[in-house]
Every structure is written in structure tokens, then in C-alpha cells.
Structure 1
Amino acid sequence: MKYLLKFKHSDYSSQQAIILAGWTNQQESGKGKKKKQVFSPVISHWPKEIQTLFKGVATHQQFTGEMGQSLSMTDSRGRHIIAIGMGLRGKCTFEMLRKEGAKLYNALSSQAEKLSIDFDSFVIKNRRDDSLAMLLEGIGMAAYRFNKYKAKAKPPLLTTIYIDSFNPKITKANINSMANTLERTQMIVAAISMTRDLVNEVPNVLNSVTFAKKVDEDIKSLKKGVKVKILDKKGVIKEKMGLFLAVNAGSSHEPRLVHLSYTPKKVTKNTKHIVLVGKGLTFDAGGYSLKPSASMMNMKFDMAGAATVYGAFRAAVQLGVNAKVSCILGMTDNVISNQATLPDSIIKSRNGKTVEILNTDAEGRLVLADLLDYASDLRPDSIIDAATLTGAILVALGGEVCGLFGNNDKLNKQLLSSANSVSEYLWQLPVIDEFCDEIKSNIADLKNMGNSRFGGSGKAAAFLQQFVGNDIPWAHLDIAGIGDSQGHLPYCPKKGSSGLMVRTLVDYLDNV
């Protein structure tokens, strides 16, 4: 989809639909001093003909600009004009603006080839750039489709969106800033789309080898000088990643470890080094602790952690963040063969600790354990991992909230702040000493399960913590609940990958 910025023009002849925001305004209504909602249009810059028509239709249809209302009309030149009720302007949030952008796209993408958005009417809190970013994020995220396997996929009619501004005080600096905001937003939306594409890809196409190849080709296509290191099975063996290899033992596809490195143009003694780590299980059948067939549905999504941190890394590279960023992805599947790891096995990890494998379906933490130890050798300022790690996080937080665990209050607060700033739900949960005690084994250093199913997410995080280097701030995002879209957000698909947490990580990397 193409976006075009237009300033100080009034020729709508080439657009099929014109969109503006309608706001309510509270006024006193007599002796009781009760408040009533009165429509407050932002149309003074429009031709008189449209202003007169608009006010007349709004009055006739009792349009007050309340949230959920809409108004549609056609002028004498055949131009379609649509007003979207936004409620009280002072109470509108950027998340509401993002959602309205998505609703706008969902409602009109099959109705018009071109849309013209009267951007000035959508500005809130006098923050033009932020308002533009949120509106376009909603539109761009809602426009995502995964239909490559449909024989007759019908493309949306909408191809072009004009962002119109009639502000007489707009300056060249304002225009340049809006253009930069448009470019930045498109980069973030493209990263989210890449994450969704990877997660939605089918498991007979996306395996560890093809996953690594896709990431390699995509990051090199950006031509940003990212260093790429890919370890095959021999490389993983050389790194002594026993846990990673144990998960891969039953697979017909070799494991892959992808290590991406980005260095900003200007590096000083204050430049931070952040490592992102992602679990990339391209399909999880459970190994010999075999899942029931119904539970295998959507297990292609078990690599969403790797796809999420890659999407965030991709956006950070394009945006040119000031931090040094590494991205480490561990790719395999978890299936059965005569070579697959048996329950009750004891495996030696990369950091030397031995692990008793009580359940081969608790495999993601095994892969992450070796990856976290590998990441710790880089001695970064912080490590953040993302994984669809536990079903227990769904029980704790539902399908709308991501679980946060970590060993550093400052890092946790930074991530919570980033999530809040982009309106993604992140909730901190504890890693207590009792969880750490419960994962100790009688016959090995550790075991990959606790003694009961209760507190499963915290116990999994406690296991991961054993493989993070001393004094390195670390955070773990359990995205098992949110990686698969629940259909509750208009800018996420009803089914398939949500792409959530990419924006949180990008905001963190951009501000660290």
C-alpha cells in the first residue's frame, strides 16, 4: 500500500473517499448545568459547499461525534465524505487512535481504491507526529494478510492513502518531520509483518534450515552491514550445546544457530550492547512426551519467540538505533524418531550443568538455556529472551497479556515503560527462591520440570535464570499467550500471528 503526504491543497477529484474525525464537545444545558454532547467538526478549511452539506447531514442524522458513530455523504461532485466519531478529544489516547486507524482500514479497504485522510482532524494532544504514527500503525497492521497459499486470493481494492494537512502554519520542518515519521512507521510495520510471515509459515516449508536461510536473506537485503554468523550442527556440537542438540536429536533437519550483530555508526564508551535471544521451535510435537493430536494444532507457532526478536532486531537496524544489538536464534523442531531423546535422560549443557529431562515436551527451556549461556559470553549490558514457553502463562494472564520475568528491576521497569508507551500489555511475575529450589534434581544439577503444574511459568523462568551469566541483567518474555492472535485487537488478524511485543522491544532498543 502506498502512502502520500499532501499539504495545503483542496483538490479531492482523484480520491474516492475522504475521511475525517468527528469529535464531541461538552456544553452546559440550562439550569441543571448538565453536560450534553455537541458535535464539534474540524472543517473550517474545507470548501463552503462541503461545510454546508456536512453540517446539514450531521444535524439530520443526529451525529454528535461520539465513539462508534459514523457519518457518510456524497457531495455534488461525487466525492464520498465519511466522518468517524472519536468521542471527547481530551480523552482520546494514542491506542484509541491506532485502533480507529485499523477499523478505518477494515471497513473501507474493499470499498475504495484511494482514501484521503484529513489528518489535522485526527491530531490529539497537539502531537502531530505521534498522532500520525499511531494512525498509520493501525492502518498498516490491519492491512496485513497471509494468503500466499490461496489459489484465488482477492487483493484489497485500497491501494493508496493520502495524508492531507491544511494547517496554514505548517512549516518545512513540520513537513520533514512528518515524512520521517511516515518512514519510521513503515519500517516498524514491515518488521511486524515479517514476524507474522515467519510465524504463519507452514511447518512443511519452514524448518530449521529454511528458517535460517530466510532470516539470512532478509537481513542482507536491507544492506545495513549486519554481520551474520550461522552455525550448523557441527558448529553447535563445537559449542558443546548439549541441551540444544538433545531437542534436535529426533529431527530429520539439522539445528541452526543464527547470530546477527548490528553496530551503530557512532560508538562511544556509553553505547549499550543488548542481546536478543529467541526460541525457534519450528514445530513441537512434544518428542517422546508426545502431545495429544489436538494440542499439536498451531505448534508451528512455537518459533514465535525467534520471529519476534528478529522482527525487533530488523526494525532497530533500519531505524539506526544508537545501541549495539545482537540477535541469537536457536532453530530446530521437537519430534519423534529412533534417535530422539528419551525421558529420564541426563544431558550436559553448554555451561557444564547437567539436566535431568523429565519431560521432553518442556524443550524450549533446554534450547534457550544453551542460547543464554552463549549470549552471556558476549558480556552485554542486558539480555532479553522471548519464547512461547509455557501454557501456564495463559492460565495466569490470559491471551492478551505477556508475562515478564527477570533478575534486574531497572531492566524490568524499562521494558514495562516501553510496553506502556506503545500500548502493549506486559505484566511482571516473580522468580522466587522456592522455584529455583524446586528445579534441582536428586541425580543431576537441575531438572527441566517442577514438582507440580502450578506456577509453571515462574519455574520455567527460574530454570532459564541458571544459565544467565553472573551480574548480567536479564529479562524473559513468555509470549505463549499473545503470540497467537486472540482477535481482540482490530489491528491484529482474527487468527494467526499477532506480532505483539515487536513494538515494545523496538521502543526499548530505541531508548536504551
Structure 2
Amino acid sequence: MKLTITAPQNQPAVVFSLVDQSALEQLIANKSIETLSDVVTATQFKAQFSEQLPLVGLSTETPFLTLLGLGDTEQLAQKKLATLAQHIITVAQKKHAAIEINVAALPAKFQYIFALQLTQANYTFDEFKSTKHQQVLEQVYFSNSQLTAQQIELLNALQSGQNLARDLGNKPGNTCYPEYLVTVAEELVKAYPNHLKLTVLDEQQIADLGMGAFLAVSQGSDRPGRIITLEYNSDREEAPVVLVGKAITFDTGGISLKPGAGMDEMKFDMGGGASVFGTLRAICEANLPIHVVGLIAAAENMPSAKATRPGDIVKTMSGQTVEILNTDAEGRLVLCDALTYVKRFNPAVVIDIATLTGACVVALGKILTGAFSPDDELIHELETAGETSFDRVWRLPVIDDYQDGLDSPFADIANITGPVGGGAISAACFLQRFTREYRWAHLDVAGTAWVSGAAKGSSGRPVPLLTQFIANRVK
């Protein structure tokens, strides 16, 4: 689905017009809609939020017009816009190739988020369905919009990237595994050969680099792990923004086995890596002039005779040793070696993205992503990008007071703390020990990377946040 602010040559026959409740009388006086006053009176249309009034054949400008209430725009909140977006997509997706949305009544500060939420509402995933989703909507034209051409370009790019991340997250573990993610990277390079350069490390190369923590996770599976690096605009001289994504393509917990209930959702444990793929596609589509490196740490966490045991001690690429007290705290193990590896790129900043802890879900639920960094300026950049893209973060502490809980009597560091709470914080503190040499932030997306329940599926977050963060850094 393509978004545009340029009037198409053939004007869409289907128009949705957003209506401010306070301006309803003014709209009634508009002579382009015949007998509107009578229809409004008969239907008791008040332009309350999400209230609709179809006007077929009554407008002199279009045969199919639907008025869609905004309520009082002074009281309008961003979170409500998703409801409007979903309503429009539900009506139009299967019936109309092109629609127009008159957003004159929508305050300018909401128009970008509303357009983004239309793209999110339009997403479907039916790869494994016998009956495919019938979707005909190809174009959305925003009339009377204050969006810029640059914003529209970024929105279309974001849609492409977020959809890729959602597709990857929704695939089951038997089809989406580390080696499959290599093919995804190869396809991206084929699609954007002038932008991307690919490097893939196999397990022998990973072992040669001394990544004992990464291998402690991947060794339990018959699916070998991979370190996938995609460099965007590698010819640019500036220090890159580096994104590091955890991609555990299925997480059983290993020997520290998870409960069976809900384990199917552990296919979403590669959401961090999926978001890196999605962000790279988005910035390729937007052709942003900036240097970015995306690393995907891909492995499967399985129990087997080869799997790591609780109490095993491994040596990381950094030289620090880790006592693995819980094999289900595996994300930090693959990430710590990846975070050491990316030092070779002399990064401007490093952001790791991981479905890391259930503790973060307890703290923040499914609304906000947990953001950890000792760098106030970097947190401010992430918060700003999150507000712009409505893919918001909430800062949680990563301070030395929590580091003592990670001490081990047998190794330099344990991979979990004792039963003292603050699990999301201690996980971030673990990662911090491997990031002291550059500016770094950690995003815990365990609560935001997917949705459970009847509407189960990948959200594609934080692709909007990361893409906006990178776009904001373009000079």
C-alpha cells in the first residue's frame, strides 16, 4: 500500500473525511453535500470519536463519501488514532484499490502518526494459510494534509521495513532459523546492492574469535548459529550507528526448560534481530545518507546432550568468563560476544535490541519498550524518536549499584542474579560490562515485540523507533 499527498490522475471514488465535532455545523453548511442537514438530523450523527456516517450519492464531489468523527480534537490522544486507522482499513482493504482521506480536521501534530498507523493496520500475514487474504487496497491519498514529501517517503519506507520485521517474527521456528536468516540478508543485498555489504560468520569462525558465550547457546541445537552483519553505506567516512539484534529463532530455555504453556510464542524471541533487518530495509528504501551497521546474533536455544548445563563456565570474546546459572538467560550470552565484536567498527553509538527479560514485561507491560543507558543524551535521542514515531521507550536504571548481584564465586560474572528482583536491570548491567568502550543503549522489547491472545502476532517494533532515530541523526 502506497501513501501519497500528490493528487492522483484518477481521483479515488471513495473518500473518508475526518470531522471535528466542533466544526460539524460548518460542515453541514457546505453546499457540496446535498441534504446533509437532513441526514445528520435523521441519523443523530454527532461526529463523536470513530462515529461514521456513509453518504452514498449525496456529495457532488465523490460518489462514496464517509464522514468519520474525531470527537473533540482538543481532547484527541495519539493512542486513539489506531482505532480510526483500523476502521478505515477494515472498510477499504478488500474492496477499493485507492481511497482518499481528507485530514483537514486532524491536527497537524497527529497526521504523521495516523498515516503510520494506517500502514500498520493494513498488515496481514497468511503465508501458511490455505485461503489467502484478499487485499486490493494499493493507494491512500491524503488530501488537505500538512505532511511533507519527505515524511511520506519515510512512511512508505517504514511500512516496508516494519512489514519485513513482522513477517520474520511471525514465521515458525521450523522455517525461520539462523541459516534462513542468512538467506534473508542475502536477499536484502540483492535488492539494495549499492547500499549493503554482507558478512556472515559460521560457528567455526565464531569459535576462532573466542565467542564462547554465543556458542554456549547455539551448541545445543542441530541448527548452527550465525553472526550476520549488514553494513549500510560502508563507503561513508563517519563513524556508524550500530544496531545489534538478538535473534534466538526459537527459545526452549535449553536445559533450564521453559514451561510448555505459551512456549509457541518463543518463535518471537528473534524480534530484536527482525527489527534490525526491518530497519535496514527501511533506511535503504528511504535512501538515508548515513553510515549504519546492523548485526544479527542468530541462534536456536535447545536442550540436548550437547547443550550447556547450569553451572558451566565459558570464556567470552572480551576475555571475561561467565558462569551460566540459567540457560534460559541466553539472550545476554549471544549479545555479549556480539557487543564485543562490533568494537571493530569504531561506532558512534551502539544500540542492542532484545526480547531479553520477562521482568521488563512486569515493569512496563506491553506498551513501552525498556531503555537502558548511562548516556543521558542518547536516551534523549531515543525518547524523541519514540515520541515522533509513537514507538515509545521508558528509561530504566543501569547503574553500578546493581552490578554486585552479578558476581560469581567461580567466574568473573554470573549470567543471572539471585532472587532479588530487578531482572531487567541486572540483565542490562550484564551487557554494560561489555560496552564500556563506546556509547551504548539497550532496548528490552520483551513486552513490545509481539502481541499475545486472539490477535497474536509480531508487532514489528521497534522498527519505527530505530528508523526515526537514524533519520534524526542525518546531517
- Counterpart of 1:253 in 2: which secondary structure? coil
Task: Name the structure 2 match of 1:147.
Answer: 126
| Aligned residues of 2:271 and 2:355 also touching (Cα < 8 A) | yes
What's the offset of the Cα at 1:361? 0.9
- Counterpart of 1:66 in 2: which secondary structure? coil
Q: CA 1:20–1:327 in 2, change beyond 3 Å: closer, same or farther?
A: same
- Counterpart of 1:377 in 2: which secondary structure? helix
Give matches, 1:267-282, under 5 Å.
267=237, 271-282=238-249
Task: Name the structure 1 match of 2:48.
Answer: 66
2:207 corresponds to 1:241: no
For residue 501 of structure 1, what is the amino acid of its counterpart? P
**1:149-174 superposed Cα distances (whole Å, 9 cap, x missing partner):** 11112313x42445264x6xx9xxx9
| Aligned residues of 1:280 and 1:305 also touching (Cα < 8 A) | yes
- Counterpart of 1:404 in 2: which secondary structure? strand
Q: CA 1:154–1:317 in 2, change beyond 3 Å: closer, same or farther?
A: closer
Q: CA 1:160–1:53 in 2, change beyond 3 Å: closer, same or farther?
A: farther
Q: 1:465 aligns with which of 432, 436, 442?
A: 432
Task: Name the structure 1 match of 2:33.
Answer: 51
Looking at structure 2, the residues matched to 109 and 400 of structure 1 have their Cα atoms a distance apart, in angstroms, of 27
| Aligned residues of 1:284 and 1:333 also touching (Cα < 8 A) | yes
- TM-score, normalised relative to structure 1: 0.85
- TM-score, normalised relative to structure 2: 0.92
Q: CA 1:216–1:114 in 2, change beyond 3 Å: closer, same or farther?
A: closer
Q: 1:226 aligns with which of 167, 191, 196?
A: 196
Q: CA 1:66–1:295 in 2, change beyond 3 Å: closer, same or farther?
A: closer
- Counterpart of 2:130 in 1: which secondary structure? coil
Looking at structure 1, the residues matched to 185 and 361 of structure 2 have their Cα atoms a distance apart, in angstroms, of 29
**1:348-407 superposed Cα distances (whole Å, 9 cap, x missing partner):** 000000000111111110000000111123221111000000111111111112111112
- Counterpart of 2:456 in 1: which secondary structure? coil
Task: Name the structure 2 match of 1:24.
Answer: 21
Q: CA RMSD in A?
A: 2.6
Q: 2:448 aligns with which of 478, 482, 496?
A: 482
| Aligned residues of 1:279 and 1:387 also touching (Cα < 8 A) | yes
Aligned residues: 471
Give matches, 1:8-19, under 5 Å.
15=13, 17-19=14-16
| Aligned residues of 1:250 and 1:335 also touching (Cα < 8 A) | yes
| Aligned residues of 1:280 and 1:331 also touching (Cα < 8 A) | yes
Q: CA 1:233–1:137 in 2, change beyond 3 Å: closer, same or farther?
A: same
Query: Which deviates further from its counterpart, 189-198 or 248-257?
Result: 248-257
For residue 479 of structure 1, what is the amino acid of its counterpart? V
Q: 1:252 aligns with which of 212, 216, 222?
A: 222
Looking at structure 1, the residues matched to 434 and 131 of structure 2 have their Cα atoms a distance apart, in angstroms, of 49
**1:220-266 superposed Cα distances (whole Å, 9 cap, x missing partner):** 31333311111111221121111001111111111110111112786
What's the offset of the Cα at 1:91? 4.5
Looking at structure 1, the residues matched to 464 and 2 of structure 2 have their Cα atoms a distance apart, in angstroms, of 22
| Aligned residues of 2:50 and 2:83 also touching (Cα < 8 A) | no
Task: Name the structure 2 match of 1:390.
Answer: 357
| Aligned residues of 1:224 and 1:318 also touching (Cα < 8 A) | no
- Counterpart of 1:82 in 2: which secondary structure? strand
For residue 476 of structure 1, what is the amino acid of its counterpart? H
Task: Name the structure 2 match of 1:508.
Answer: 469
Q: Note the residue ranges of structure 1 that are not aligned, 5 or more in a row.
A: 27-37, 488-492
What's the offset of the Cα at 1:465? 0.5
2:423 corresponds to 1:456: yes
2:434 corresponds to 1:446: no
2:72 corresponds to 1:88: yes
Q: 1:495 aligns with which of 456, 462, 468?
A: 456
- Counterpart of 1:329 in 2: which secondary structure? strand
Q: CA 1:391–1:40 in 2, change beyond 3 Å: closer, same or farther?
A: farther
What's the offset of the Cα at 1:179? 4.8
Q: CA 1:510–1:4 in 2, change beyond 3 Å: closer, same or farther?
A: closer
**1:115-166 superposed Cα distances (whole Å, 9 cap, x missing partner):** 53243535523x7xx72x434322221111111111112313x42445264x
**1:67-93 superposed Cα distances (whole Å, 9 cap, x missing partner):** 131111221699232100012344445
Q: CA 1:43–1:414 in 2, change beyond 3 Å: closer, same or farther?
A: farther
Q: CA 1:474–1:73 in 2, change beyond 3 Å: closer, same or farther?
A: same
Query: Which deviates further from its counterpart, 194-203 or 313-322?
Result: 313-322
Q: Note the residue ranges of structure 2 that are not aligned, 5 or more in a row.
A: none
Q: 1:437 aligns with which of 390, 398, 404?
A: 404
For residue 153 of structure 1, what is the amino acid of its counterpart? K
Looking at structure 2, the residues matched to 143 and 5 of structure 1 have their Cα atoms a distance apart, in angstroms, of 18
- Counterpart of 2:21 in 1: which secondary structure? strand
| Aligned residues of 1:385 and 1:475 also touching (Cα < 8 A) | yes
Looking at structure 2, the residues matched to 265 and 179 of structure 1 have their Cα atoms a distance apart, in angstroms, of 27
Q: CA 1:499–1:365 in 2, change beyond 3 Å: closer, same or farther?
A: same
Considering only CA atoms, is the larger Rg found in Structure 1 or Structure 2? 1
Looking at structure 2, the residues matched to 486 and 425 of structure 1 have their Cα atoms a distance apart, in angstroms, of 19
Looking at structure 2, the residues matched to 362 and 43 of structure 1 have their Cα atoms a distance apart, in angstroms, of 64
- Counterpart of 1:480 in 2: which secondary structure? coil
| Aligned residues of 1:388 and 1:478 also touching (Cα < 8 A) | yes
| Aligned residues of 1:400 and 1:486 also touching (Cα < 8 A) | no
Q: CA 1:315–1:511 in 2, change beyond 3 Å: closer, same or farther?
A: same
Task: Name the structure 2 match of 1:163.
Answer: 141
Q: CA 1:164–1:54 in 2, change beyond 3 Å: closer, same or farther?
A: farther
Q: Identity across aligned pairs (percent)?
A: 31
- Counterpart of 2:104 in 1: which secondary structure? helix
For residue 163 of structure 1, what is the amino acid of its counterpart? Y
| Aligned residues of 1:224 and 1:317 also touching (Cα < 8 A) | no
